[in-house]
Structure formats: structure tokens, C-alpha cells
Amino acid sequence: MSKPNILAQLPEELLQDILERLYKSDLTALNVASRWCYQVATPLIWREVELVDCRTVHEEGTDEHDDGGILRKLLLLASKPNLATSVHTLTHRCHLPPPAIFSELPYNTFSAQTLSTDPRTIRLVQHAVAQMTHVHTLRIILGHPSLTDALLRCFFDSNRSSPGSGCNPVRKLWLENCRISAGLNPSLESHLYWLPLKLDFSGLESVRFRRLPMRPASPLDWSRAGIVYARGGRGRELQDGTGGQYVTTLNDFSEESRAGNDHLMWLENRRVYRPPNGEPVSDLGPSPLEALYEHASRWDDIIYSNLPVTADLSLPNDVEELVSLSSYDRAVMAYRGQSLDCGAPNNPGERAYPFPLHRDRLLTRNRAYKTMQRETIPSSTAAVMMLSSASATLTSLTLDWVLNIPPMIGPSIDPKSYMSWTSMYLDLFSCRFPHLRAFQFRNCVVPDTLLLPGFYLLDRSFRAANDIAGVPISMLHNKKDGQASSPDLAGLAFMEAHPKLQCLAWPMNHFFAPGEISPDIAPRIQAVVETLGRTLTDLRIDSLYSGSGEPQSEAFICPDHGARASRRKFVTGFAIKMKKLESIKIEGGMPRDERREVIRALHGSPIKKIVMIGVCSPLGNTWGHEGTDVGQSLVMDSELDGLEAEEKPTVFEIGPTKPQPPPPNFKYNFEYGWEGSAPMLHTIASFHADTIRELKFCGYKGAPVLLSPTPITTPLLAALKHFHNLESVIMSMYLTTLFEGAPRDSDIISYWLNSRTPTSTALVHITDEEPEGWEKELRTKFAPDALAWQITNFVAPFLSETAKKRVGGVHVRASFCIGENGGLFDVDLWVGKGVLGSDVCLGFKGPREEMEDERRRGKLEKRRWF
């Protein structure tokens, strides 16, 4: 009896459990084994679909955003309903690496005008989405703007939510590195691509906005200095996510914006004549918009001509008919407009053309401007309106490093921009979500992501001034269901309205205002905090990253006394009252002693997971004062600034001792300052060793040097042996890349990347003789198996013997930052006990960068609270 026949006899639940464990390549092989195998494997193969573009070289240039692969999948989904109904998770992403957080993200408008613009593509999306009736998760990551609009407007078309549509609602929405102001606009008058005009987001349960523009309206156009990805633009270098750079084609936003103005002028001044038996021709030549889309139009025609069309797999008739559109018509349909997140000017025609205009011509140009302007509301307004539409079902809301600051150009803040920024927060916090369980606002990376100054979650906001940008606070009222509330208590009212939160993320210095709490609201604040003390299991706090690294303490030198006072009020007014917390994440530029005090204040919570992330190693500085203990032979000069020395006598005295738990009657009292302090791990072990399952410490300055650790490393890490229930530890380590006085980062990274490719011929040249010099260095220190061995030897002695004896051992991740642009590479391994009782590596993966396919998918699928 054949194996497929044996499988067919299994109960359905057991069969599904077996098949779901197979890799996609194995399912694809099973799919062609028999008719029965096709029936059981096909739904699993198509359960998750990715729409990803690619890079294609043509004779006349390189198309950095070829949609061929996307179109082939859309064609299959539109033509074969049995495949489309199998799709549960749909992801659209660009094949390029995401923009670097610090150097590229703030300057990327994500408005690429020339990507995925062919009207046939947009219509094909409509056909495919209409067939995908069971999609519950939609992810768009670095999405092409027009394709993003099409997916959002089609999946949330109000007609899909009507009774009898047969469509299940999308329950999870992940939007990252993309524009949302057009795709999420709930009501449009018209759309040149014939996309749905009315949207309904009811049914959404989880929403994540991540690293994208969510700016309020402003009369100042911040975006004209931004960059956009392009088909046919100029080649420029960007960071590749692996420590190096790559070249892709970009335009300046100002160029694409100017094309719309130039087009209006072209319309005004051209004269058209029609040659015999030919198309109308302008005496001024092609429109500026045609020139902008010249490469995109030509390459799209090539892509469509190469689609695998057969008798049972052909383009729908209404898609095929669009081939007759001229390049001019396609350009006009594709153009998204000239303004991003800006208040629409009263007279856009006058704005585009400052010279005097006849009234009729002005009206004509205004109509043309309005037709071209696809984004008619700012992205913050679109986001809030979408969330309001989903309020009845939403359980998780995450705003993860969103770019929310409007342009504030000049010596003082633009009053209208500041008012708009304030209104954005008041609108967001006027929303009510009856079933909300997770609310995360993580904004600690770059200044563009900062929280509104003076806004507090559990205190009176805007206390430092009686007005906002010249407008009295008393005139700013939140209105929800006809009820007006004071704007300075918007955060507190929001928290009172959501008493079932289990997960909360918020900037540490924006829980409480620096001064005394007003007596009239003190009982309300106390009630909210006590409720959270009973419900919160997951807490994440952050502050803006410091440039050179976090100080040990701000006890003597403090750049912002108000922010410090607010952070310390969080410790004594919030953290100490948490009784159910199982996970705490502390990220950003707060001093090390404040991180320690958070851990001490949480003594009453059963903490299972602790995460600390910063520029410097949260565990302590193993390099000495400004690197004196490692020297230039190991660490580059640029990485030594600002490193404060550890108090070596104290560390060597306390570090190796057994941490003592607090007494049963322990009462927390804050102890700021770092002088005489125990190592961070020793403090954590003293308070939480019995319950900890996971530890994560990220920060590369001062981190343990893997290949030649300094003496102080041992007492700083000694307390690890007391975490007997530890299942996973993640730790930044410093990997020395200097050889003969020069860094070899690029060689090492290439070696790692090539080692993952079995067919690669670019690995180290091996001869019959023992390799010498750099080849020997690569093989013995940086080869993946050599690294795993080094990490095992380094970490294993610090781990608890009890933890290592468990089945599967302890998961260890060593995280390295190397490369000219700081690529992050991780080695995952499992440390356990061998047959003879020695420490052994049970298995390893890596080194892998963040965008390595398995790691990328894992982060998407295992992200908490999504």
C-alpha cells in the first residue's frame, strides 16, 4: 500500500497536524504525487501568499520593481477560486531592504509615484481580492503605494462586509513602511482606478502601524526634501541591512511633485493637432507626466506580454481591454498628487502658478489639481478614522515608531502645525475600544517619532502653558458621542475607558508630569493604576536614544530635569504597584540606575521575561573607561567615546557572590546613583531569579568581547548561573574584526552569506596545505561552526547546571553588530549537557541577519499582541 493511501486513512485532525509541519517545498512535492495529494496539499501551499516584486535587467535599463511575480500570482488567484479561497494570510512587500532607521526612515516619504501603477494591475487586484474570501491577516511591508491602496480599499470595501457577501472580515492588519492616507480614507468622491469609494473596517481585531508616516495636516510641505523609490530614476546607495550598501533607483519627491505642476502648465500652453489616421499630438511633445512614467509604462507592457496566458488562465476581459489606454492616460491615472499630509491650499491653482490667472482658467486648474491629488486627508486623520470604524471589535492597537511630527520650520514652531499635531493626539485618545487588551505606543528612536511634548498618559497634560500655539486650552475640547471632555485629561480618560488592558507600551517620561499631581485628579489616577496592577502582564517602556550611549546615572549631571522627574515618578507611582507583570521591556536612553530601579520596584510581580535595549550594554561596560581595557587592537576608536568605567572593586566583590532575595517584609525604597552598585544581572537575580524564563540584553558599546573577554566580564555575568528556570538568553557581544590593523567586516559578512548557499564558489579557498593568514583567521574564528563553538565555550560556564540539563538545553542567541553601516547578525544555538556531563552545543543556526528569510518570517508570525 502506498504512503498517500495510508495518509488518507488518518483522521482529518491528525492529517492536518502532520501536513502543517511540512516545509513548503515538501508540500509542493506532495502536491504532484496524486490527485488526493493535490487536494490535501494545495490549501496548505496557498494558505500564506506573498506578493513580492523583483529586480530585472533590460537592454535599456534596470527595472528595480518588476511586478511579474506579483501578476502571475494575482492571475492565478483571480482565475482559480479554489486557490483564492485557500488564502488566509496575504503579505505584500517590496523586495528591497527596509530603510535604515536612523539615516533613511525619517527622509523616506513612501510615496513612490512610479511603482505598480499599471491600471491592469490594479484591476487584477480587484478580481483576485474578490475571490479571496477567507483572508484574516493582511500585511503590507514597504508596499508600493498604488498597490497598497488597491489592497486596502478592496479588502475593506464596505460591500464585502454586507450580509450575503460570503466574505470573512480581515481580523489582523499590519502596515509598515508605507503610505496610508489614500488607502485608509473611508470615503472618497471618486477614484481614477475605479477602486471602492466607501470602506468599512468593522471586524478588525488587531492593527499595527509600524515605521510609517502618520503626520497631521500642516500648511508646510515637509516632504519636498524626501526620497522615493522609482522605476527609471537615478542610481543611489542605500543601506542593505547586512552592514553594507546597495544601489537602487530613486527620485526626489520634489521631482515627482513638480511633474504635476509642469503637467498643468503643459495643458495650459500646448496646442494639439491630429495627423491623418493618427493619435492627437501636442506641439510641446509628451506631457511631463508621460516622461515621469516612461520606463514604468514600457516595462509593464513587456511584463504583460510575457504572462503565461493559457486557455484556462487568461486575463479577465475588463483587464485585457485596458491595454488600449495610451501612455498619457496611464500616466494621468497613476499620478498621486503634489502634497503629502498637508492641508489642501484654498487656491491650489494659485499655489502652483503664482502669476495672475483669469478666473475661468483658475477654476479649470483647480479642478485639474483636485483630480490629480489622490491624498486628500493627512495620514493621521485616515488612521484615526479607520480605528474609529473598527472600534467595536479592536482588541490590540500598536503604533510602533510612527513618524508623527509635522513640519516645524523656522526659528519657532509653526502655530498651525502644532495645533494640528495636538488635535491628532486628542482625536486618537477620544477613540473608545470596548474590547481593547493591548495598547502600545513605542516612539523612542528618532526625533520624528517623539511623543507630543507635554502630553501625559496618567496626568494632566499641557501643564506648562495655558495655551497651545496661541489657542487657549479651554477651547480644545474632545467630543465623543456628544460629550465634551477637557483636552488636558485626554490620556487619563482614555485609560479609564479601557480597564481590561493586559499589554501597555508607553514612553517612560510621559506617564506623569514632573510636578505634583493635582489633588482633584489624584483619586482617578490611583484607580487606573490599581486596575492596571491587577490586569497588566506585559509592560514596555522607552525613552529617546542617546547618541553616544546611556549614562550610568543622572544623579549629578542631568540634561533634562523634567524628564528625569517624570521617569522617577513612573518608578514610584506606577511600576511598584504592578502585581501581575510577567514581561518587562526597557528600551532607549534612560540611565542604567533607572533601569535597575524599575526591576527592583517590580519585586511583587512574577517576572518571566526581561528585555533591556540601549546603545551601551545594559549588563555593564567590559571595555573599561573609554575602552582602556581593550585598546585599539580590538575595538575601533569611534566606538569608545562616552564609556564610563565600572567600579571594579565592587564588581569583583559582589559579582561572584550568591544573590540574596529580598526579605518577606521588603518595602521598596529608591536608590539612585551607580556608585557601589551590584552588577545588573546580580540585581535581577536577587529579585526575579526564581521566575525568569527569558533574558534579553542588547547594546554593543562595552558588550562582552567574544574572542578575548576582559577580566571584568566574568563577575558581570556570574549571576546567570542562578537562573535555574532560564529557557532563553539573548545577548549582544562584540566581535573583533581587526586583522593586521585593518577591519575585515566586509570579508566576514560575505563569508557568512556565501556559507548559506551550497552552490557558492566564493568561500575560502582550501588547499591541501594548512591555510595561513587571513584564510586561517576566517576558518578558525568566523566560520559558522567555529563561532558556535566559541559562543558555547563562552556562555555555557555561566549558565545554570539545572537549566542546561533540561531537554533541549538553553537557547542562546549571540548578537553581533559589524559592517560599515552596522549590520546585525545573530547566531542561535542550544547549550545542553553531553553524555559525559560536559557542556555541548546541541545545534545552531546562523549567523543570520534580520531580513534572512526564516528570521523575517519568524518575527512576523511570532510577534506578540498581533
* Chain segment 315-336, per-residue pLDDT in tens: 999 999 999 999 989 999 999 9
Alpha carbons 622 and 608: distance in angstroms, whole number: 26
Burial category of 523 from C-beta neighbours within 10 Å (exposed 0-12, middle 13-18, buried 19 and up): exposed
Q: What is the pLDDT of residue 345?
A: 45
* Residues 6+ positions from 379 with CB-CB distance below 8 Å: 179, 180, 181, 184, 212, 213, 214, 215, 341
Domain identity same for 701 and 757: no
Q: Which domain holds residue 575?
A: 540-728
Closest residue by Cα to residue 403 from 586, 547, 145, 226: 226
Alpha carbons 793 and 709: distance in angstroms, whole number: 12
Domain identity same for 720 and 776: no
Domain identity same for 762 and 657: no
Tell me what percent of the residues of the chain surpass a pLDDT of 90.
62
Q: Are strands 137-141 and 172-176 parallel, antiparallel or unpaired?
A: parallel
Question: Phi first, then psi: what are they for 625, rounded to 5°?
Answer: -60, 115
pLDDT of 688 higher than 90: yes
Average pLDDT over residues 445-455: 86
pLDDT of 285 higher than 70: yes
Closest residue by Cα to residue 70 from 124, 19, 21: 124
The structural domain count of the chain equals 3
pLDDT of 625 higher than 60: yes
Tens of pLDDT, residues 138-166: 999 999 999 999 999 999 999 998 888 88
- Among 702, 728, 754, give the residue marking a domain's end: 728
pLDDT of 480 higher than 60: no
Average pLDDT over residues 202-213: 96
pLDDT of 278 higher than 70: no
Which of the four pLDDT bands, split at 50, 70 and 90, describes residue 764? very low
Alpha carbons 490 and 496: distance in angstroms, whole number: 10
- Among 671, 703, 728, give the residue marking a domain's end: 728
Domain identity same for 689 and 659: yes
Task: Calculate the CA dihedral of residues 22, 25, 31, 33 and round it to 10 degrees.
Answer: -100
Domain identity same for 569 and 592: yes
Is 51 inside any structural domain?
no
Alpha carbons 756 and 740: distance in angstroms, whole number: 27
Domain identity same for 724 and 751: no
pLDDT of 6 higher than 80: no
pLDDT of 115 higher than 90: yes
Q: What is the pLDDT of residue 483?
A: 44
Q: What is the pLDDT of residue 350?
A: 39
Is 855 inside any structural domain?
yes
Domain identity same for 713 and 809: no
Is 119 inside any structural domain?
no
Average pLDDT score, the chain: 87
pLDDT of 356 higher than 50: no
Tens of pLDDT, residues 389-447: 999 999 999 999 999 988 765 556 677 788 888 999 999 999 999 999 999 999 877 88
pLDDT of 357 higher than 70: no
Domain identity same for 567 and 702: yes
- Among 728, 752, 783, give the residue marking a domain's end: 728
Q: What is the pLDDT of residue 766?
A: 46
Closest residue by Cα to residue 197 from 208, 185, 188, 210: 188
- The least confident of 101-110, 227-236, 472-481 is 472-481
Tens of pLDDT, residues 579-593: 999 999 999 999 999
Please give the grid coordinates belonging to residue 91. 503579505
Average pLDDT over residues 11-16: 76
Q: What is the pLDDT of residue 640?
A: 79
Which of the four pLDDT bands, split at 50, 70 and 90, describes residue 179? very high
Tens of pLDDT, residues 806-843: 999 999 999 999 988 888 999 999 999 998 889 999 99
Domain identity same for 802 and 694: no
Q: What is the pLDDT of residue 367?
A: 66
Is 790 inside any structural domain?
yes
